Amino acid sequence: MPSHFANWTQVLLDVDPQSGADIVCDARNLHGLRAAQFDAVYCSHNLEHYFAHQVPKVLSGFHHVLKADGFVELKVPDIQSLMEHLVRYGMGLDDPLYTSPFGAVTALDVIYGFGKEIEESGNDFWAHKTGFSPTRLERAVKEAAFPFVFLTTSREHVEIRALAFKCEPTAAQTAMLALPVAIASA
């Protein structure tokens, strides 16, 4: 969890009842929860586990559960950056890109899901079912009624981070998240 959430109350959502989650729910069904109850949604490396046609429903669900001045922080693999990296450095799909706390991560892991975790768990829910470029992620988030979107990319971890707001970020949100001070709606 990012440090800017350190003093927040965390409410964990998971589809698996054995996970110990506070809310057991599939993220595709967030419209079944009470509306406007959360200040933020943090979704790290989960959105790519849904098929492309399900992504709008998940994002719409985030919008549904957020308060009027709420925001979502998303992290997903950057498939476009991955492809550029592989070509630029002549790398193969099995070559390690970086080392995570769980072991080496290859291009195949970024595209299809962390193979070691899928194999060890026997749970193919961990497989990736869609992919994102910065442009594709920004479009999906805006189509889910988040008019203020800020993207950053990490070439090292081939990752896109999006901060998406239901309304113009507050001064406190701008400071906490180190957003640009001059904001323009797209």
Count of domains observed in the chain:
1
Question: What's the predicted TM-score (pTM) here?
Answer: 0.93
% residues pLDDT > 70 (the chain): 97
Whether residue 114 lies inside any domain: the answer is: no
Whether residue 111 lies inside any domain: the answer is: no
User: Tens digits of per-residue pLDDT, 2-17?
Assistant: 999 999 999 999 998 9
DSSP helix/strand/coil, 144: coil
Whether residue 105 lies inside any domain: the answer is: no
Please determine, for residue 183, whether its predicted confidence score (pLDDT) is greater than 70: no
Whether residue 91 lies inside any domain: the answer is: no
Res 186: pLDDT: 45
Select from 89, 116, 92, 106 the least CA-distant residue to 157: 106
Whether residue 183 lies inside any domain: the answer is: no
Residue range(s) defining the domain that contains residue 150? 3-77+130-176
- The region that residue 90 occupies, defined by phi over 0 for left and psi between -120 and 50 for alpha, beta otherwise, is left
- CATH code where residue 150 lies: 3.40.50.150
Whether residue 139 lies inside any domain: the answer is: yes
User: Tens digits of per-residue pLDDT, 148-169?
Assistant: 999 999 988 899 999 999 999 9
- CB burial of 87-102 (b: ≥16 within 10 Å; e: otherwise) equals eeeeeeeeeebeeeee
Whether residue 106 lies inside any domain: the answer is: no
User: Tens digits of per-residue pLDDT, 61-98?
Assistant: 999 999 999 999 999 999 999 999 999 999 999 999 99
Q: Report how far residue 64's alpha carbon sits from residue 35's, in angstroms, rounded to the nearest whole number.
A: 5
Average pLDDT over residues 125-135: 95
Whether residue 12 lies inside any domain: the answer is: yes
